[in-house]
Amino acid sequence: MLIEQIIKEKIAQAVHQLYGQEIDAEKVQVENTRKDVEGDLTVVVFPFLRISRKSPEQTANELGQYLQEQVDEVASYSVIKGFLNVTISTSYWINQLAQAFSDSNYGFTEATDDSPLVMVEYSSPNTNKPLHLGHIRNNLLGFSLGELLKANGKRVVKTNIVNDRGIHICKSMYAWQQWGEGKTPENTGIKGDHLVGDFYVLFDKHYKQEIEELVAKGASKEEAEQQAPSIIAARELLRKWEAKDPETVELWQMMNQWVYAGFDVTYKELGVDFDKIYYESDTYLVGKDEVLRGLQEGIFTRRDDQSVWADLSADGLDQKLLLRSDGTSVYMTQDIGTAKLRFNDYQIDRMVYVVGNEQDYHFKVLSILLDKLGFSWGKDLHHFSYGMVELPHGKMKSREGTVVDADDLMAGMVEVARKTSEELGKLDGYTEQEALETYKTIALGALKYFILKVDPRKNMMFNPEESIDFNGNTGPFIQYTYARIRSVIRKAEEKGIVPAIDFDQSLRISEKENELIKTISLYPATVQEAADSYSPAVVANYVYNLVKEYNQFYHDHSILNEEDENIRRFRLVLSTTVAQIVKSGMGLMGIRVPERM
RNA sequence: GCCUCGGUAGCUCAGUUGGAUAGAGCAACUGCCUUCUAAGCAGUAGGUCAUGGGUUCGAAUCCCGUCCGGGGUACCA
């Protein structure tokens, strides 16, 4: 049993015996003692004053006395400003360290065949443009969330819905037909997703120009937007595609293939993957059928212009369009179809959608609609709603070129990592291949940590003018600590010193060492909390704190040069355990750790 | 207008279910490498937790009002 739990129960017991009133042990407030105060755990006694009818100091002292007599692990206690600070015995902490050290799966709960199955949807790109920083946040959060859920004993299926059809890709297709001059990724050397994205931008340029010309001739802006030749042509392509016109479908397939090849490269660099990928072109008709079924069953209504609507006013929401008057699908229709296919394919206990908070309303509606359509799981689908990445001048807009491109960003960071490493000369002796791997590890570590350390729900700021830091509260700082420990461990191996927990349990440890073990012992609860609150940031903050404490220890203590063999072995075990947790925690964020840097 | 999320140091962010003197990093300034990696460690300076009220032993945290900002708001995704 955890010491915290023991204290809670003993305090409840003490209150009963000393003051004659039963209280709920779970309600007893036990927290970690502040750093600047002596002690390990603090019991908040204020809620008991009404029962004890004594001063905070006296109450705390009486309870402290009781604890010390009744609980072996309680070594001493002190009372400061009415707070009861309890000091736990060193042997307890050393035992905690030994357990963490020997458990290769420390902090994790393994899934079994009976464990709940969680499907996590993330990424969900459109196929008309390359990935940007906003997608990076989505991908990193989605991947990390999957790892967190796995670490918490869930079976996880990572999935992606590729929005491969619709007016957006038709715009790129039309631009390529008109002005493409037969360009391909092969004959231009341009990455496929970027090439298609270039045509999307080109479309918009022409479209805007046409609108201007029409307005100059006296049309209203709204009319011009509807009547511009480019948009009419793109709509015609969409219509032909839905009618399965062979030439159009072929063009669509070709350009989508270019994009997929490009995405694959980006996903691989980013280190994310999927167990099952769905395509909107396969799901939108299923959604349409579901909507029509709903119409027949009287859940939805058809208007005079043939459009189909859901009336959600009973749920406090508005009317929602499900099929346009021309019979074509909207975003919502497609999501209904995708959901149906997924739940046919897997025995899903919980569905999680990693999608930005700009779509909060959409998922509220989706949940209600799925419920109305009779899907039992609709009501409690979970929208993992994360904040946007903002630039100093505002939102990212693809068409206006104010995006931070994912590939460019990663490549730029690898260069910074290379430069820094070369200046410091840390990788001398590595082959070019080994060195490049390390640059990538560091660069991606910096990027991923930068994004994941922020509370997912909040918007975050990225300034492209300032490169992402490699010092301080950063990924490389954490990786560096890992590399230093690995270096010590390699040296220990050379000297034949093996980390083992056969040190004398009565040894005296320093305050910093005790502090470190306490932090180590918090890892399992941290992993749990991160998964429960869907927040990789909880892990990020924990690992940073752990590493910061370790660096202080490292600075003040010798490990291999320590003369006392007992202490030397203890410190090696301590260091090894910290390295294990750093690797494990970073792994939960999809961040690798280097042997050297 | 309505709905919704947010506002903590110059900048970027932490701050568990309300607990002690609100913490990190960056930027600025100052020290520490003949000893296991200085991408490190230590220190100085920096705050009316947007604002006004309320709840109570105690509020950055909970409730209400106001100001400011993001997002959404019926044929975009």
pLDDT digit string, tens, across residues A207-261: 989 998 998 888 888 888 888 999 999 999 999 998 999 999 999 999 999 999 9
Buried b (16+ CB within 10 A) or exposed e, A68-84: eeebebbbebbbeeebb
What amino acid is encoded at A455 in this protein?
D
Residue A68, pLDDT above cutoff 90: yes
Strand B and A232 CB separated by under 7 Å: no
Region A119-148: mean pLDDT is: 96
Instruction: Give A63 CA → B54 C1' in Å.
Output: 34
Task: Give which of A386, A358, A530 is closest to A458, Cα–Cα.
Answer: A386
State which residue has its Cα closest to the C1' atom of B33: A555
CB-CB contact of A98 with A574 (8 Å): no
- As to burial, measured by CB atoms within 10 angstroms (0-12 exposed, 13-18 middle, 19+ buried), residue A514 is middle
Task: Give which of A285, A333, A283, A284 is closest to A309, Cα–Cα.
Answer: A333
Element (H, E) at A526: helix A523-532
Strand B and A29 CB separated by under 7 Å: yes
- Residue A476: the pLDDT is 97
What are the pLDDT digits (tens) for A509-568?
999 999 999 999 999 999 999 999 999 999 999 999 999 999 999 999 999 999 898 999
d(CA A334, CA A317): 20
Instruction: Give A551 CA → B41 C1' in Å.
Output: 8
- Residue A400: the pLDDT is 72
Strand B and A235 CB separated by under 7 Å: no
Strand B and A327 CB separated by under 7 Å: no
What are the pLDDT digits (tens) for A398-456?
777 778 999 999 999 999 999 999 999 889 889 999 999 999 999 999 999 999 999 99
Q: Give CATH for domain A3-88.
A: 3.30.1360.70
- Residue A377: the pLDDT is 80
- Residue A222: the pLDDT is 80
Residues near A191 by beta carbon (within 8 Å), at least 6 away in sequence = A130, A185, A262, A265, A407
Instruction: Give A67 CA → B38 C1' in Å.
Output: 45
The mean predicted confidence, pLDDT, of chain A is 93
SS3 A121: strand
Residue numbers in A 561-580, CB below 7 Å of strand B: 561
Work out whether strand A74-80 and strand A117-121 pair parallel, antiparallel, or are unpaired.
unpaired
* Closest nt to residue A361, judged CA to C1': B72
Residue A81, pLDDT above cutoff 90: no
Instruction: Give A274 CA → B4 C1' in Å.
Output: 32
Report the Cα–Cα distance between both ends of chain A, in Å, rounded.
Answer: 40
- Residue A329: the pLDDT is 86
d(CA A489, CA A97): 17
Strand B and A510 CB separated by under 7 Å: no
Radius of gyration of chain A (CA): 30
Strand B and A399 CB separated by under 7 Å: no
Task: Give which of A35, A99, A78, A36 is closest to A581, Cα–Cα.
Answer: A99
Task: Give which of A359, A379, A355 is closest to A121, Cα–Cα.
Answer: A355
Residue A503, pLDDT above cutoff 80: no
d(CA A43, CA A64): 9
- Residue A380: the pLDDT is 83
Which of the four pLDDT bands, split at 50, 70 and 90, describes residue A397? confident
Where is pLDDT greater, at A394 or A403?
A403
- Residue A125: the pLDDT is 95
SS3 A122: coil
Strand B and A158 CB separated by under 7 Å: no
Region A378-385: mean pLDDT is: 90
- Residue A596: the pLDDT is 94
> What's the token pair of residue A502?
């056969």
State which residue has its Cα closest to the C1' atom of B77: A331
What amino acid is encoded at A375 in this protein?
F
Residue A474, pLDDT above cutoff 90: yes
* Closest nt to residue A326, judged CA to C1': B75
- Residue A313: the pLDDT is 85
| Overall size of chain A counted in residues | 597
Q: CATH topology for A406-588?
A: Isoleucyl-tRNA Synthetase; Domain 1 (1.10.730)
SS3 A350: strand
Strand B and A16 CB separated by under 7 Å: no
Region A134-146: mean pLDDT is: 96
Instruction: Give A262 CA → B33 C1' in Å.
Output: 46
Strand B and A85 CB separated by under 7 Å: yes
Beta strand residue intervals within A258-364, DSSP E = 276-279, 301-302, 308-311, 319-323, 350-356
Strand B and A555 CB separated by under 7 Å: yes
Residue A505, pLDDT above cutoff 80: no
Chain B nucleotides close to protein (CB under 7 A) are 4-6, 11-17, 19-21, 24-27, 35-42, 57-58, 70-77
Instruction: Give A116 CA → B66 C1' in Å.
Output: 47
SS3 A342: helix
Strand B and A486 CB separated by under 7 Å: yes
d(CA A567, CA A574): 10
What are the pLDDT digits (tens) for A141-162?
999 999 999 999 999 999 999 9
CB-CB contact of A154 with A166 (8 Å): no
Instruction: Give A525 CA → B20 C1' in Å.
Output: 24
Strand B and A226 CB separated by under 7 Å: no
Every domain of chain A and the residues it spans: 3-88, 166-273, 281-337, 406-588
Residue A506, pLDDT above cutoff 80: no
What are the pLDDT digits (tens) for A94-112?
999 999 999 999 999 999 9
Which of the four pLDDT bands, split at 50, 70 and 90, describes residue A307? very high
Task: Give which of A477, A491, A453 is closest to A568, Cα–Cα.
Answer: A491
Residue numbers in A 272-301, CB below 7 Å of strand B: 280
What amino acid is encoded at A75 in this protein?
A
Task: Give which of A366, A400, A408 is closest to A383, Cα–Cα.
Answer: A366
Residue A383, pLDDT above cutoff 80: yes
Strand B and A215 CB separated by under 7 Å: no
What are the pLDDT digits (tens) for A343-374?
999 999 999 999 999 999 999 999 999 999 98
Which of the four pLDDT bands, split at 50, 70 and 90, describes residue A317? confident
